[in-house]
Structure 1
Amino acid sequence: MCASISGFSKLSKSKKIDWIVETYFFNAKETKNILKQYWNTNEKLQQLHDEFIENTITNYYLPLGVAPNFLINGKFHTIPMAIEESSVVAAASNAAKFWMDRGGFKTKVIATTKIGQVHFMYQGNKETLNQFFKHIKQQLIDDAKPITKNMEKRGGGILDIELRDKTQDIKGYYQLHASFETLDAMGANFINSCLEQFAKTFKTQALAFDGFSEEEKNIQIVMSILSNYVPDCLVRAEVSCKVEALHEDITITAEEFAAKFIQAVHIAEVEPYRAVTHNKGIMNGIDAVVLATGNDFRAVEAGVHAYASRNGRYSSLSHAKVENDVFTFWMEIPLALGTVGGLTGLHPLVKLSLELLQNPTAKELMQIVAVAGLAQNFAALRSLTTTGIQQGHMKMHLMNILNQFEANDAEKLTLIEYFKTNVATHSAVVEAIENLRLKIND
């Protein structure tokens, strides 16, 4: 029977597990064995993982794969990808191989500005608030110097602070809207520390400002927090080639493929129902690399999807065209990433992934991640506009279905060979397993 518990966080790991299995599971012994089989046998490494978060009971594994042959700005990369979805790594690898012989991927970082805001309420005269802000702006920056000193030595820091009037949306609502450069760090802790100092200085100095009435001095700080919407932290990735060089599929001409591909992108630009799935495919590639390199994929997801809606309607992140007989496929996306801080120096596989990428700077990682997303999108659209998405996806999903039905090694070999020339739907695989077993039993 389910129950509440007091002081759970203070229990040992073993006691936490005891309470969980005894409260929620019928077979306590089997559940404990499942949890423990995912523990690392290296006690020091397991302790490291236990301390990443609170109330840890075991490790949750994802496969870490690699996609080779990515030619980016004339340099080859093998990209690490942590993901559970079948066909993602294969699709990225196929796209990399396709474009390797057509000039590869071209990328550039457009901007790296990140944003944080102090949200506050003020009920007084707007012009007086503007005067106060002009009076206090430099002190806001100066009072944050102990926080920004080291970042400034490396070339980063606070770029600007603006006072923004949001009273049309909420009565009395204003912001200190600050922009930052955080270099190779994602910078969340740095930005939040600066914002909290801004808020402290702002509130303290308001009490001493002669221009405010006693009532106006009572500024209410609501919260101080960075934004994961980073429309000015942009990277561009693209591929291009002569239309005739797209010819690879005997069932469709290069010209037909280019036209159909561009139509598919245009549909995603105007139809939100399609755009969500279209962009989800892009994020298959992006999230996998973001996760492998110890970055915050939830923040990236939120920021990217907000960017896809920036014009008032959710739309495709990628675009395609043919001009002067040249096919071009590209996207510009916001990516706030880091290669120092956080898990980058702690998680052994994150360190390995970054080393595999030749220890990139944050700007270089932005470009690699964008390429992974564009490659994934190209592979998906290529399948959709030619053979259909299921043919390739279900063949990659085949092993999951075989494992679900506990196929042995001999059965796997037989069925993998069979589905090289047959359509691999879930029902077809199930039927093939059952027929194979009936034949063996007969």
Structure 2
Amino acid sequence: MSKTISGFSKLSKSKKIDWLVETYFSNKEAAKTVLKQYWNSNDKLQQLHDEFIENTISNYYLPLGVAPNFIINEKTYTIPMAIEESSVVAAASKAAKFWATRGGFKTEVISTTKIGQVHFNFSGELDTLQKYFEWVKPKLIETTKPITKNMETRGGGILDIELRDKSDTLEGYFQLHATFETLDAMGANFINSCLEQFAKTFVSEIADYEVIANTDLDIQIIMSILSNYVPDCLVRAEVSCKVEDLQEDPSIPADEFAKKFIQAVKIAEIEPFRAVTHNKGIMNGIDAVVLATGNDFRAVEACVHAYASRNGQYGSLTHASIENGIFKFWIEIPLALGTVGGLTSLHPLVKLALEMLHKPSAKELMQIVAVAGLAQNFAALRSLTTTGIQEGHMKMHLMNILNQFEASNEEKAHLVEHFKTNVVTHSAVVEALNNLRQ
């Protein structure tokens, strides 16, 4: 039976591992070996990784791949992708190659506004609160000047602060709803610092508000925190070509493919069960680039799925149409990303990933990431509406199955050749491997 421990965080990494293997693992030496074999041999680099988070015991590796041949606004990119799922990088690369000869991807940043909120309770008269807010608002901005000075020098800062009455949905609940421009930084620490200062000023200045010096203006701050929902930090990516230029597989007429493709998108627009899987495929591409560039994929995921539900029902993030013989496929998606701060200047592979992308600004990275999602979705829908998703996916998954059964290089070579003309399933691979070994 496992046991609790006091003072775990104060133990050395080796002592943490000793306690873990003694408490949880039957083969203690094997567990210790696995954990230690992923330590970096460069002590300085390992220390850097150890200090990213708390209670570090090892490093958890994901493959870093690249998808070449992306033409975005007439500029060529090779996109780094950190992901464990078979076929994602291959699918993105295939879509990039397809559209590279059809005009490439076109993108634009629509807006870059980010949001933070001070949540508080108030039980008095709304008119009194409104007048106080109007009086104190300049002071809210003024008292954050030490925080915003550098950001303002670069052209960013606080855009506005609003008082929002939410008491109709939760008794006594109000917000200071603030908007920000954070330029190339994702801006979480900047925004949260501003919000916490807003909260302090909002409460402390009550004593100097002469209009109600003798009135009880009871404001109770609940919390001050940025919102990861950023519907006004929006980017658009699209591809288009003549319908006849979609022809790739001679067995499927271009117009038939286009109609099936658009119908597949429309199904995802109105059917949540399909939309979730449809959008998960988009996020395969987006998360992989977000992770490779040191950004917060959890924040991106939460925001994107909220955005997909903004009209009251969860639906597709991508859309498609045919107008005057032109096929068009596009995505509009909120992405709060940064290219400075956080891991972008600390993690060596993040630095390389950003350099590979021509050291993009946050706006440029938004466009690249949106393209990765659109490309991934195009590749998935093309497979679904033609050969089916499993043919390509399972062939990419073949190597995972062979590694699971510790196939030798010779066995791998033989079975890769065998499954070029046979359907890949887990049972079929196991049977073929057993036959080969016998």
Kindly state the Cα deviation for residue 211 of structure 1 after the two structures are TM-superposed: 3.6
Match of 2:404 in 1: 404
Q: TM-score scaled by structure 1?
A: 0.98
Give, in whole Å, the separation in 2 of the partners of 1:213 and 1:245: 73
Q: Deviations over 1:29-67 (max 9, x none)?
A: 111100000000000000000000000000000000000
Residue identity over aligned pairs, in percent, reads: 76
Partner residue in 2 for 1:266 = 266
Deviation at 1:216, TM superposition (A): 3.7
> Contact conserved, 1:122 with 1:216, CA < 8 A, in 2?
no
- C-alpha change, 1:419 and 1:139, in structure 2 (3 Å) is same
CA distance in 2, matches of 1:214, 1:285: 59
Partner of residue 332, structure 1: 332
The equivalent of 1:64 in structure 2 is 64
Aligned counterparts of 2:283 and 2:127: Cα–Cα separation in 1: 45
How far apart in 2 are the matches of 1:192 and 1:127? 28
Aligned counterparts, 1:328-407, within 5 A = 328-407=328-407
2:186 alignment counterpart: 186
CA contact (8 A) 1:318 1:330 kept: yes
d(CA) in 2 for partners of 1:249, 1:37? 46
Distance across 1 between alignment mates of 2:432 and 2:106: 45
The aligned residue for residue 296 of structure 1 is: 296
1:179-218, aligned counterparts within 5 Å? 179-212=179-212, 216-218=216-218
Gaps of 5+ in 2: none
Distance 1:93 1:128, change over 3 A: same
Query: What is the CA deviation profile of residues 163-213 of structure 1, one whole-angstrom value per residue up to 9, with x for unaligned ones?
Result: 000001111100000000000000000000000000000011123323447
Residue 321, structure 1, aligned to residue 321, structure 2 = yes
What is the SS of the residue equivalent to 2:210? coil
Query: Which residue is 1:305 aligned to?
Result: 305
> RMSD of the alignment, in Å?
0.8
For residues 85 and 106 of structure 2, the distance between their equivalents in structure 1, rounded to whole angstroms, comes to: 27
1:145-177 CA-to-partner distances (Å, cap 9, x unmatched) read 000000000000000000000001111100000
2:207/2:213 contact within 8 Å kept: no
SS of equivalent residue, structure 1 residue 313 = coil
User: What 5-or-longer segments of structure 1 have no aligned partner?
Assistant: none
Q: Secondary structure at the match of 2:294?
A: coil
Cα distance per residue 1:280-326 (max 9 Å; x no partner): 00000000000000000000000000000000000000000000000
SS in structure 2 at match of 1:70: strand
1:4-15 to 2 correspondences below 5 Å: 4-15=4-15
SS in 2 for 1:174: strand
Q: Which deviates the most, 416-425 or 212-221? A: 212-221
Residue aligning to 1:145: 145
Q: Secondary structure at the match of 1:226?
A: strand
Q: Which amino acid aligns with 1:17?
A: I
AA partner of residue 38 (structure 2)? Y
Displacement of 1:215 in angstroms is 6.8
Give the match for residue 93 of structure 1.
93
In structure 2, give the amino acid aligned to 1:90.
A
TM-score scaled by structure 2?
0.99
Amino acid at match of 1:205: E
Task: Look up the equivalent residue of 2:401 and give its one-letter code.
Answer: I
The corresponding residue for 1:54 is 54
C-alpha contact (below 8 Å) 2:124/2:218 kept by paired residues: no
SS in structure 1 at match of 2:239:
strand
Relative distance call for 1:211 and 1:125 in structure 2 (3 A) is farther
For 2:280 and 2:60, how far apart are their aligned partners in 1? 23
Offset of residue 428 of structure 1: 1.2
Report the equivalent of 1:421.
421
Q: In structure 2, what is the Cα distance between the partners aligned to 1:126 and 1:206?
A: 15
